[in-house]
Amino acid sequence: MSSISVPPPKCLQKPLTVPYRHMFGPGPSNVPSRILEAGANPVIGHMHPEIFEIMNDIKSGIQYMFQTQNKMTLAVSGTGHSAMECAIFNAVEPGESVLVAVNGIWGERAAEMAERIGARVNTIVAPPGGCFTIEEMEKALSKHRPALLFVAHGESSTGVLHPLDGIGQLCHKYNCLFLVDSVASIGGAPVYMDQQEIDILYTGSQKVLNAPPGTAPISFSERACQKIFSRRTKPVSFYLDLSWLANYWGCDGKPSRVYHHTGPVTAFYSLRESLSVLVEEGLENSWERHLKVAEYFHAGLESMGLKLFVKEKRLRLPTVTTIVAPYGYDWKEITSYIMKTHNLEISGGLGPSVGLVGENDDRVPICIIQTHSFLPVCFTLDVFVVFQVLRVGLMGCNSSRENVDMVLAALKDALKHCHKSKV
Ligand code: PMP
């Protein structure tokens, strides 16, 4: 008689099957076989000298990708969210003031994370598809005197590329650290961490880098380190505590590394390979390719009569394009049709870009409820308001004219076949 009451599941007696898909949503993107194969190398110990060498290579790759000399450069074992929490949990102590520039879901989430650790959070909120001027930033900095300002460089929920020039210098005038989320933009649009005086910059592995999800490059300036290493209180998270991570990644100058957590070694192999691919192409070539392909894509969409959600060209994220879902169509029908018929993922809106549909002829103020504070923020927007969007991500190896043609053909087909419905 068996002593176990839960029998072996039948499903696990069948082989694993995973389909191939064109991953043209806002992430993850397709992983080229070269990067997948790197991850299939044998597992070695997370404290073996060979893995430390691989981690050192990753560190150099991140310094190149971020354009920084920061010694405190590493990859968090986790997705983009873990890097967000690593940045906020280490840089902010309970009771400190944090300012968040919210122009999409990533600002909302950063505000919520800072609130959870007892920070005093203030937000400035831009309408979806918009961004902030330097003057607006300065007004908010001088009013709230925050210890940290958060800005999403690539707001993947709305498709906005937020200009960064001048904000770092402004933050330092007000003795504030500048934190930038580049999960959806790094490698696909210019970022110069040192020149732009960014104090903390992070990204994820699964977008332009084309590595599997699960590692998150992050870097801290000298100024950020000074604040972090003179904290009065310990960061709430042991796992994300920068003093431990700094030691594991050999960034603290100590002669030996101490076990903190079991580094995901195979994910490190893939991340290293993805950084090699970027180094081989060259950062500037990669920026240029993403921009050219995005322009080609945007022209194709407009020639089909579709409208881009971000009106100002210079604010369009070259990696993730937001398209106004054509009036009368249900975006869910379009995305599922394209998945079923073309084996291709594109996605709908997220956060503030998910919901409202309707023309705004009467210029009625539109109110958005901020999820972290439940305070409504109201805007009156010009011509019409259609907040339902489709999001298409063409990142890293996926950013090519051939893929644009494939997406345009799929969209044309979907618009022909998805009935104009009751929305
Ligand atoms: N920030 C931005 C701008 C993102 O696009 C994403 C992922 N969509 C994240 C943060 C969070 O990353 P992850 O899903 O890897 O935790």
Of residues 206 and 373, more confidence is placed in: 206
- The model's pLDDT over 50-89, given as tens digits with 9 standing for 90+, comes to 999 999 999 999 999 999 999 999 999 999 999 999 999 9
Confidence category of residue 128, pLDDT binned at 50, 70, 90: confident
Could you tell me where in the chain the CATH 3.40.640.10 domains are found?
33-280
In the chain, pLDDT over 70 holds for what percent of residues? 91
Closest C-alpha to 270, from 24, 37, 3, 22: 37
Could you tell me where in the chain the CATH 3.90.1150.10 domains are found?
283-417
- Of 179, 181, 183, 185, best ligand 1 pocket probe by most atoms within 8 Å of the beta carbon: 183
Q: Can you point out the beta strands (E) in 172-226?
A: 177-181, 200-202, 215-220
The answer to whether residue 163 scores a pLDDT higher than 70 is yes
Cα of 253 from ligand 1 centre, angstroms: 31
Cα of 420 from ligand 1 centre, angstroms: 32
What mean pLDDT is reported for the chain? 92
The answer to whether residue 358 scores a pLDDT higher than 60 is no
Cα of 204 from ligand 1 centre, angstroms: 7
Cα of 374 from ligand 1 centre, angstroms: 22
Phi, psi dihedral angles at 35 (to 5 degrees): -80, -40
Q: What is the DSSP letter of 353?
A: G
Confidence category of residue 355, pLDDT binned at 50, 70, 90: low
Cα of 51 from ligand 1 centre, angstroms: 26
| Contact between 181 and 151 (Cβ < 8 Å) | yes
CATH 3.90.850.10 describes domain 283-417: no
**β-pair partners for 392:** 321
Confidence category of residue 375, pLDDT binned at 50, 70, 90: very low
Q: What is the mean pLDDT of residues 90-111?
A: 97
In the chain, pLDDT over 90 holds for what percent of residues? 87
Ligand 1 atom with least separation from CA of 204: 15
Going by alpha carbons, the residue nearest to atom 11 of ligand 1 is 80
Cα of 183 from ligand 1 centre, angstroms: 6
The pTM assigned to this predicted structure is 0.93
Going by alpha carbons, the residue nearest to atom 2 of ligand 1 is 183
Confidence category of residue 387, pLDDT binned at 50, 70, 90: low
Ligand 1 atom with least separation from CA of 155: 3
Three-state DSSP class for residue 153: coil
The answer to whether residue 172 scores a pLDDT higher than 60 is yes
Q: Between the CA of residue 340 and those of 20, 45, 205, 290, 391, what are the distances in Å? A: 13, 42, 27, 27, 17
Q: What is the mean pLDDT of residues 133-148?
A: 98
The answer to whether residue 385 scores a pLDDT higher than 80 is no
Ligand 1 atom with least separation from CA of 106: 1
The answer to whether residue 371 scores a pLDDT higher than 50 is no
- Of 76, 112, 155, 156, best ligand 1 pocket probe by most atoms within 8 Å of the beta carbon: 156
| Contact between 419 and 232 (Cβ < 8 Å) | no
The answer to whether residue 121 scores a pLDDT higher than 90 is yes
Give the architecture-level CATH label for domain 33-280: 3-Layer(aba) Sandwich (3.40)
Helices (H), ranges, 160-261: 167-173, 222-228, 242-248
> What is the signed CA dihedral for 26, 213, 290, 63, rounded to 10 degrees?
140
Cα of 15 from ligand 1 centre, angstroms: 31
Residues with CB under 6 A from ligand 1: 26-27, 79-81, 106, 152, 154, 156, 181, 183-184, 204, 213
- The model's pLDDT over 232-290, given as tens digits with 9 standing for 90+, comes to 999 999 999 999 999 999 999 999 999 999 999 999 999 999 999 999 999 999 999 99
Return the pLDDT at 388: 82
